[in-house]
Structure 1
Amino acid sequence: MNKIDKLTEILEKLNSGEITEDIRKEAIELVSRINPLELSLAEQKLIEKGMKPEDLRNLCEIHMEVLKDELVKLKKQIDQGHVLDILIKEHDEILKYLNELEIVNNKIQTMKSFAGEKKEFTKLKYLADRLLETEKHHQREEDVLFIQMEERKITGPTRIMRMEHDDLRERKQLIKELSENVSKLDFKEFKTKLDEAVKYIIFNLRDHIFKENYILYPTALEAIKDPKKWQEMKRQFDKIGYCSFTPTY
């Protein structure tokens, strides 16, 4: 059995929900010996065998444990201004917004009426706009980075990421609509809808960012070897445009 087949077998066991200590040890030992590209190919093979992409969304703790140093290694291999450097730094900013959103939502959930501190609702509108702005980030990923990966037959991971972009987009739009109509809604209903949307966004976007930073981007760097191709991708990024929070160089 080759490494990809063995890893595919392990991933099936991990996703079955029946994780014994022996399976855990076997997974750690195997996953520690493979690169992100091989890991992505194994996940893709599971999808081709009939596993739904959503069943692979939440990587098990073993996967996370093994990949914890991948981002550090990746950063050492790319220069400032590289396509992946831009995306990673945008992720850093998005994660800050998610932290702020969590705080704002928690404060709003303690309020009895819209007559509370108006600054929290102003901040909610600001954060809703920043979340919608991340669409430009996703567009660059989908129209440039993902295309290059898919041309190299890496379609499983990008398929999952595209699906998650779609799911996240719907919740981001809902938070925006709620932030603009808070005074027009029953306050209890408003808080319930906001709490559900915010918690979904915070959990799933954090998870999404982790998978891109620690799996997808290292996979891309492993698969796309030609420096000229990365330069071409940077020009395509420039053409699409950036977010207001994209770091400048």
Structure 2
Amino acid sequence: MEREKVELFKEVLKKLHKGEDVESLKKQFGELLSQIPPFEIPVIEQELLKSGEIDVRDIIKMCDLHVEFFRGAVSEAGREIEKLPNGHPLRTLYEENKQILKDAEALSLLASSMFSLPKDDPRRKQFYEKLVQHVSELHRIGLTHYTREEMLIFPYIERRGITAVPTVLWSKHDETRLKIRLLLNLLKKEESDERLKEEALELSRMLSDMVFRENNILYPTLKVLLTEGEWKAIKMLEKDIGYYKIEVTEEWETPEKPLLPHRNCLRRPIPFRGLGGSRHVYHLQIQ
């Protein structure tokens, strides 16, 4: 790995600590950073984390900058993933993200439309009911899409010594889960229009940004790192958790044997606490 890339990241982080705004950093470093392949980003971050020069909170800040630096700069990554056959776990995640992005945009549209209407407008009731229904459905993103990544994908990354990426993304997932729960509670309490609109638009942005991070940074990294045997193991286990609003076909096949991230994964119970506080346990196993 080129030493200059690591030093460049350090310089950006120092400026970020000093409060320099994203637009200024984009002008100074955007062109150089956009030349770094997406799959090298996690390795650079991990090197900085191991050296003790930054902590996870710093990387979370850097993760936010990725969205700005790489928006449009790595658009080719999505096209490469679309070349994978239907049913490949990575293609499935990518297809789910299309639905998540669609739902994020729908949330923004619903909120903007509802809160632009006068309070005595009879259409507000219809918008309100639809908004509550829509936000209620969004919690399934955490139960399916995010949980598959956390329980089935992240262990393979950690196995390679890359711990910063799963830590940061899991943190982002939890922030989104909490925001969904908060918005739903505020809707039920009929909070002020201003607060509801603000929270709805923020949630829409969070969902969209996560789609960008995954499609253009995480997924190209996984495409390079994971083997066919590892994808086969993920494929065999993912049905136990479920999918977000898509039908998964079985076109993809591989002759490779399933390779689990750890030998003790066989029949390993996976606990997961849902947004409502209930406990779900997925007994994942390979026959």
TM-score (norm 2): 0.74
Task: State the partner residue of 2:177.
Answer: 169
Is 2:165 the partner of 1:157? Answer: yes
Of residues 141, 145, 169, the one that matches 1:137 is 145
CA distance in 1, matches of 2:115, 2:28: 44
Given that residues 38 and 217 in structure 2 are in contact (C-alpha distance below 8 angstroms), is that contact kept between their aligned partners in structure 1? yes
User: Structure 2 CA distance, aligned partners of 1:54 and 1:144?
Assistant: 22
Which of 43, 53, 67 aligns to 2:59? It is 53
SS at match of 2:73: helix
Residues 19-64 of structure 1: CA deviation (Å, up to 9, x unaligned): 4867444444x42xxx332222112333442142321122354433
For structure 1, the residue ranges without an aligned partner over 5 or more in a row are 183-188
Q: Counterpart of 2:186?
A: 178
More helix as a share of residues: 1
Distance 1:59 1:247 in 2: 33
The answer as to 2:208 corresponding to 1:210 is: no
The aligned amino acid for 1:247 is E
User: Kindly tell me: are residues 218 and 228 of structure 1, through their superposed partners in 2, closer, same or farther at Cα, counting changes over 3 Å?
Assistant: same
The residue type equivalent to 1:45 in the other structure is E
Summarize deviations over 1:191-228 as a string: whole Å, max 9, x none. Answer: 13312221221112211110111111111121112x12
Asked whether the 8 Å contact 2:111–2:197 carries over to 1, the reply is: yes
Secondary structure at 2:71 match in 1: helix
1:114 CA displacement = 6.8
Whether the aligned pair in 1 keeps the contact of 2:78 and 2:216 (CA below 8 Å) is yes
Preserved contact between residue 6 and residue 44 of structure 2 (Cα < 8 Å): yes
Structure-2 separation of matches of 1:62 and 1:215: 11
Q: Please say which of residues 160-169 and 6-15 is displaced more in the overlay.
A: 6-15
* Count of matched residue pairs: 234
Task: Write the distance in 2 (CA, Å) between the matches of 1:92 and 1:107.
Answer: 22
Q: Equivalent residue for 1:36?
A: 38
C-alpha distance 193-22 of structure 1, shift in aligned 2 (>3 A): closer
Q: Any conservation in 2 of the 1:7–1:39 contact (CA below 8 Å)?
A: no
* Other structure's SS at 1:81 match: coil
- Which residue in the other structure is 2:235 paired with? 234
Which is worse superposed, 200-209 or 62-71?
62-71
5+ residue gaps, structure 2: 250-287
Deviation at 1:128, TM superposition (A): 0.8
SS at match of 2:239: helix
In the alignment, is the contact (CA less than 8 A) between 1:90 and 1:247 conserved in 2? Answer: no
Q: Partner letter of residue 117 of structure 2?
A: M
Aligned residue identity for 1:10: L
Is the 8 Å Cα contact of residues 100 and 211 (structure 2) preserved in structure 1? no
**Structure 1 residues 41 and 171: CA distance shift in structure 2, 3 A:** same
| 2:131 aligned residue | 124
Cα distance change, pair 168–229 in 1 and its aligned pair in 2 (3 A): same
Given that residues 97 and 130 in structure 1 are in contact (C-alpha distance below 8 angstroms), is that contact kept between their aligned partners in structure 2?
Answer: no
Q: Give the drift of 1:86.
A: 1.1
| Alpha-carbon contact 1:105-1:195 (below 8 Å) kept | yes
d(CA) in 1 for partners of 2:161, 2:95: 27
Write the mapping of 1:18-97 to structure 2, written as runs, cut at 5 A. Answer: 19=25, 23-28=29-34, 30-31=35-36, 35-48=37-50, 49-51=53-55, 52-60=58-66, 61-76=68-83, 78-97=84-103
Higher relative contact order (CA 8 A, sep 6+): 1
TM-aligned CA distance change 1:39 to 1:20, over 3 Å: closer
Provide the rounded CA distance (Å) in 2 between the counterparts of 1:107 and 1:23.
38
Cα deviation for residue 145 of structure 1 reads 0.7
Q: 1:236 to 1:109 in 2, by over 3 A?
A: same
RMSD: 2.2
Q: Which residue of 2 aligns with 1:185?
A: none
Question: Larger strand proportion, structure 1 or 2?
Answer: 2
Rounded to whole Å, the distance in 1 between the matches of 2:31 and 2:104 is: 34
**Cα pair 1:89 1:247 within 8 Å, conserved:** no
Which residue type is aligned with residue 142 of structure 1?
Answer: E
Q: CA deviation at 1:100?
A: 1.0
